[in-house]
Chains A and B, each alone.
Chain A
């Protein structure tokens, strides 16, 4: 079973104060640390688990600059066999353009399955995977929490709202967007990443993909990025822990909670 995974490097923003950049089109990135997109980490693990069980190759693809090769090496260290970085240069990208670039890159590769994360932690758009599927004319499913291949098909679980899963059968090849929690991504050691440098990493330039001007034209334009509007929000309780605890208990009692 040959599997392609499309992955992205994103800024780590938990417990970080984000600042809007001067142009108000994005976030100030210089002080941010970068990590593999959480959803993609699960997608890599799922691909490697399937490969361990059914054989075949796993190819990891990302669009980005040299720094983004870090996540390709991470995927290689987790068990992927080869990787491709697509260099976009200074070009601006949106979900539509990204799906066009990926489709053109993947079209001639051999695969039974393409996995992406449900969404990326930065723009939270959840669109590239399914757009890519449609570009390639593939069957697809979003928010997948289980994959069991069987003779040209896969039995998949899709996570719906309200504590409900949908189980269905999908023909391969297909594209599935992977939800967090589908597996437990393995630990990657620095040693493992160093060793993975021996594995294949091919760099392709967007210019060399002969995409049309239309394909490379943004369909959505960010006009302005801004901090959430000030609202009243929570009444903050300040003070030393024991006085804070006393107040919490008081509030619970007042609001009808029995302690």
Chain B
């Protein structure tokens, strides 16, 4: 019998969803292999997270110190390294998030444990984990095993393991630990959080979104889709590449690093459907995708699909709409 560690992710006084998704998956793995589930909390004093976490784990190991209030890779990796050294958990789960991407690879080198990132499934086979990852932006899947090791590290894709509403609660033991003495001074100093999503329009409130992606091709082509959006009374939104190229301001961006939207209907023009984008439209009522690549991942999640040139479809929509009115 071994142990599975889940490293808790929190921000601005809230436990982030990825934490519960990892705890949910870890619980399933623990049941299958009679492991114990331990949530590792590195947080500030009086964060009030432990009670919530205890409902999801057999044990919560909590380091509560104001130096840990905001994620800091320097401190996190040092504390986790010593904790992993002490307990040798079979598996340690972290989120495949901005912070997880800063922490997990460093921790892998520190501990010497193998790491697989961005996993969408985790199983155990012959006493080792076996994970499934997506490669080539989700166009292919890859099954990955590990070199034999006392423990393994895995980062989990947000949204891959959604817990149901009626998760059985446990009453985990809470173990509060002091920070190891002689902890290094962090080499990175937090200054502030900046909201980058605010702007002239609020795409999260829109009932009808016309959204554009890389497939729009050129900046000049945006005007024609904007015309369509106006004609429909829809709000214009976009995927990451459009913002990266400075074609639209960030407040138009749908997805993990932008906004999560919940329109009644979401029209995706030339959006391939990278998981970071799809994560932002799970709340949409109906998704209609137009993309000339019939194999584009967006068609796996859309309700309706049109495998055609987006401009042809946009022009046809415009003439239909002007005909109607």
Q: Which residues of A contact B (CB under 8 A)?
A: 11, 13-15, 17-18, 20, 27, 95-96, 99, 118, 121-131, 133-135, 139-143, 155, 157-171, 174, 177, 180-181, 184, 217-229, 231, 233-237, 241-242, 244-246, 248-249, 251-252, 255-259
- Stretch with Cβ within 8 A of A (4 or more), from B82-90, B170-178, B250-258: B250-258
Residue of B nearest to A103 (CB): B109
Whole-angstrom distance between the alpha carbons of A111 and B56 in the complex? Answer: 46
Residues of chain A with a CB closer than 8 A to B143's CB: 222-226
Residues of chain A with a CB closer than 8 A to B250's CB: 163
Residues of chain B with a CB closer than 8 A to A129's CB: 105
24 residue pairs bridging A and B, Cβ less than 8 Å apart: A95-B105, A124-B118, A127-B115, A127-B117, A130-B104, A131-B105, A134-B110, A139-B187, A141-B73, A155-B191, A162-B257, A166-B192, A167-B191, A219-B149, A221-B145, A227-B141, A228-B300, A233-B300, A235-B303, A237-B306, A241-B315, A245-B313, A245-B316, A252-B208
Residue of A nearest to B118 (CB): A124
B45 at the interface (CB under 8 A from A): no
Given contacts A96-B114, A171-B187, A139 and B303 within 8 Å (CB-CB): no
A225 touches B142 (CB 8 A): yes
Residues of chain A with a CB closer than 8 A to B109's CB: 99, 131, 134-135
- Chain B nearest Cβ from A254, distance in angstroms: 9
Whole-angstrom distance between the alpha carbons of A15 and B197 in the complex? Answer: 29
Interface centre among A11, A155, A234 (most CB of B within 10 A): A234
Residues of chain B with a CB closer than 8 A to A258's CB: 207-208, 233
- Stretch with Cβ within 8 A of A (4 or more), from B19-27, B29-37, B95-103: B95-103
Residues of chain B with a CB closer than 8 A to A255's CB: 264-265, 285-286
Contact count band on B: 35 or more
Residues of chain B with a CB closer than 8 A to A229's CB: 141
Residue of A nearest to B11 (CB): A160
B5 at the interface (CB under 8 A from A): no
Using A27-B136, A142-B98 as known contacts, list a sample of 12 further A-B pairs with CB atoms less than 8 Å apart, ordered by residue number in A. Answer: A11-B136, A127-B104, A127-B105, A127-B117, A130-B101, A140-B73, A159-B196, A162-B260, A180-B240, A227-B141, A234-B303, A245-B313
Residue of B nearest to A161 (CB): B256
B293 touches A15 (CB 8 A): yes
B133 touches A234 (CB 8 A): no
Whole-angstrom distance between the alpha carbons of A16 and B197 in the complex? Answer: 32
- Stretch with Cβ within 8 A of A (4 or more), from B46-54, B58-66, B317-325: B317-325
